[in-house]
Amino acid sequence: MNEQIKQLAIESKLIAPEYNGFDHTRLSISQQKFAELIVLECMRMCEVTEMSFVTHDCDVEASGAITVKQFIAEYFGVE
Domain boundaries, the chain: 3-76
Q: Three-state DSSP class for 22? A: strand
Does the pLDDT at position 3 exceed 90? Answer: no
pLDDT of 49 above 90:
yes
Distance CA 38, CA 34 (A): 6
In this prediction the pTM is 0.82
Q: What is d(CA 73, CA 18) in angstroms, rounded to the nearest whole number? A: 26
SS3 of the chain: helix, strand, coil, percent, to 5: 70, 5, 30
